[in-house]
Amino acid sequence: MHANTRMFQKGIGLPIVLIIIALALGGGGVSYYAVKQQAKKARDLQEKALREGEARLQEIRNERGEMMRHETYVIKLVEQNDSGQTGEVWIGDAGGKAKVTIKLEGMKSLVSQPAHIHGGACPSPGAVKYPLTSVVEGNSVTQLSVPVEDILNGLPLAINVHTSAEDLKTYVACGDISADAIMDTGEAMMNDRAKMESGEMTEGGGVMEGETGMTEEIKTFNIDARNFSFSKKEIRVKRGARVRIDLSSVEGFHDWVVDEFNAKTSRVNTGQKTSVEFIADTAGTFEYYCSVGSHRQFGMAGKLIVE
C-alpha cells in the first residue's frame, strides 16, 4: 500500500491537507486585502486631486473677480438724433460696487438729461437695467449697488442719455458696453490726467471753467515686486504731490496698495506691469503692501512718508 494512503488511514494526512488549504486561503485573503487597500488609496488620491482642482478653480475665479474690481471700462458715447453731444463713460470699482461716470461734450443742455444702462445695443436698446444719475452740465456720477462683474455678466448692454425727463424717447447719445473696452486703472488715470492738463476736466470729472488745469509734476516711482518683497522699502513725497507708482512683477502675482489714499494697482503676474496715480494730500507715514494672499503678512510691505 502507498505510504500516503497509510498516512490518511492513520488519520495524519487529513490535518496536513487542511493546513495547506488554510494557508492557500490565507494567502488569497492577503492578496484581496492588498488590492482593496490599493483601490482605496487610488480613490483617496482622486478625491484629493478633485478637491485641489476645485480649490484652484475657485482661486482663479476669485482672482479674476478681484482683478476686474481694479480695472476701468471706458465706453464711447456716440451722437444720436443730431444732438451735437458725444462723450465717454467710465465704469470702475468703488468699494466693491460699480461706479459709473459720464462726461458729455459738445452742445450743452439747459436741463438735466436722464441716463440709464439698457439691455440690448445702440441705437435702439431695450428696457432699463440700471438707472443712472441724470447728466447735468455734461456730468453724471452714479454709485450702483452691484459689482462691475454683474454688469459685464449681463451683456449686451448699452448706455443711453435722453434729451430730458419730458422727452425720454429722444436719445442724445448712446454707447455699447463691451468687455473689449477695458483699460487698466493706470491707463485710465493717465487719460484723465491728460484731460485735466488740457483744461477739459477737474479731478472730480467736472469741466474746468477758464482754468489751465493741473500741470504739477508727477512723482514717479518704479517698483519691482517679487516673492515676498518690493524693491523699494520707503518712498518720500511732499504733501499735495501727485504720485505715480509703476509696478513690475519680476516674480509671482502681486499688486501695490496704500489704503489711506484709496490707491491700488491691478494685480499682475511675472513679466507684467501696471500703475496707479493718486494725490498724497495727508501728511504722515503710511504702509503700502501687496494684498495678494498672505504676502503682506510675510513682509511684502513698505513705508510711504508724506512730509
Same domain, 90 and 149: yes
Same domain, 49 and 131: no
Q: Are 171 and 81 in contact (CB under 8 A)?
A: yes
pLDDT for residue 217: 66
Distance of CA 60 to the CA centre of its chain: 10
User: Does residue 100 lie within any of the structural domains?
Assistant: yes
Domain that holds residue 15: 3-68
pLDDT tens, residue by residue, 31-79: 656 666 777 777 777 777 777 766 666 555 555 444 444 467 888 898 9
Same domain, 111 and 136: yes
pLDDT tens, residue by residue, 263-273: 999 999 989 99
CATH of residue 279's domain is 2.60.40.420
Q: Which residues, given as ranges, of the chain have pLDDT below 70?
A: 1-36, 53-71, 179-217
Same domain, 83 and 176: yes
pLDDT for residue 250: 92
User: Does residue 247 lie within any of the structural domains?
Assistant: yes
CA distance 186 to 99: 16
pTM of this prediction?
0.41
User: Does residue 224 lie within any of the structural domains?
Assistant: yes
Q: Where among 53, 68, 83 does a domain terminate? A: 68
CA atoms within 13 A on the CB side of 50: 6
Same domain, 38 and 134: no
**Residue the block writes with cell 496707479:** 276
CATH of residue 129's domain is 2.60.40.200
CA distance 295 to 284: 24
Alpha helices in 174-244 (DSSP H): 185-197
CA angle at 70 for the pair 195 and 145, rounded to the nearest 5°: 100
